[in-house]
Amino acid sequence: MSSSSRLQALQFALRVAVFLTPLIAGAGLFEIAMYRTGDSWPVTSVIAAQEKLKGESIWGRENYSQQYNLSKSAMIRRRNPRIVALGSSRVMEFRAFMFHPYEDAFYNAGGLIQTANDLAEYARQVSDGRLPRPQAVIVGIDPWWLSEWTAPVEQQSWLDGEPDATYSFAAHVEAARNLLRTGKSNFPWGVVFGSKPATSPYFDYSAFGITAVVGGIGERFSDGSYLYTAQLVDFMKNPSYRDRLTTPVLEQVKHTSFLFRPSSKVESRRVAVLRESLKSLKALGIEVYAYQPPFSSEVLQALNESQPLARFWWEYKNDLREQLKQDGIDCLPVSSARDYGLDDRYMFDGLHPGEIYDSYIVEDLVRRAAPGSLLSSVDLTYLANLRKEKNAVPLCFYPPPKVPGVSENKPAGERIER
């Protein structure tokens, strides 16, 4: 190549570099921001950092999938808990202290199981040793697991080999686009450019991920349960029930949309997968406790009156429990707060109960446990005393978030005995 050709090539390369400099700088700033907030940390890195900390920490991604299949599985392998709560986000408010004196033996794996296929894969992994065998499992069975529109039985479970999204170039590009598209006004730039470690609002827990840093929302490292700081703050400011989901559950039921798309019946193959999974866990010598998670009273009434969902809802509420009973598995029926002498203030929304509500479900499970079983030796007196604490609010055990200008002592109110 002649000297003039080399000079032209160099000049072209410089022009390209100058053109790309803003893009490279922007990409670099974005990656630094994602790293400083912990949003782009792989699951293994988050867990390793949390293990070195003293005190509580929470983890909640915003721009990448939360991937409970990775985080919960990794924590189960690390801790080898004796009692495991399984299900969707609707089981996430079970807390370790509800299982006294087995606090250190409990782990909340809520979010790990999203379909009947996921439960089947969990059972397979426990059976072949890929996951440790607990002594007891509590399984919250959602109705949509058994709907005709949900995941077919042939579909692979996300417990079987899904990679961490933070290793995907496409996920980083999509995260950058999302940030540019939404123009997040509350982005935690103070964390990005400051020297203070990232902490969650109100509780000041160590925080990993933008959702945890900004909203104080994420899974607790201590027991795997979920902290809804923003929702708790909303309740403290206005202590009444309201559905805090973007699309309220009552609307979903009335319009048969989202989780409640039309289903003419409970799909038999999904039921078969569910039953076989629970039976296989029981055959391993594991105590299996099933329950149908609660709904708010308005949603439960709408479901009971829904004509498009009538057969499906009846079969989920009644026939499924009878089938599980034939398998030797007791299943608590679907409920609303009224069944426990409470009201809907104890629900975050139409389908997520708070900690206080879930403590009553724990009480029911313990009372129905077989004599001599692990769960039967949970101390219910200790649990009852916890509910009498003066600072308890309907959605959580004390301490609630300290909201400026709002009284810290909003009593849960008296329970009406059933």
* Whole-number pLDDT of residue 203: 94
Residue 86's nearest CA partner among 213, 245, 224, 215 is 224
Residues of the chain with CATH 3.40.50.1110: 78-163+240-418
* Whole-number pLDDT of residue 196: 67
For domain 78-163+240-418, give the CATH number: 3.40.50.1110
pLDDT tens readout for residues 223-268: 999 999 999 999 999 999 999 999 999 999 999 999 999 999 999 9
pLDDT tens readout for residues 180-224: 776 666 778 777 777 667 899 999 999 999 999 999 999 999 999
* Whole-number pLDDT of residue 415: 46
Q: CA-to-CA distance for 307 and 266, rounded, in angstroms?
A: 15
Q: CA-to-CA distance for 11 and 188, rounded, in angstroms?
A: 40
Residue 28 has pLDDT above 80, yes or no: no
- For the chain, helix, strand, coil in percent to 5 are 50, 10, 40
Q: CA-to-CA distance for 321 and 332, rounded, in angstroms?
A: 8
Q: CA-to-CA distance for 159 and 250, rounded, in angstroms?
A: 31
The pTM for the full model equals: 0.91
Instruction: Out of 9-13, 256-260, 393-397, pick the least confident.
Output: 9-13
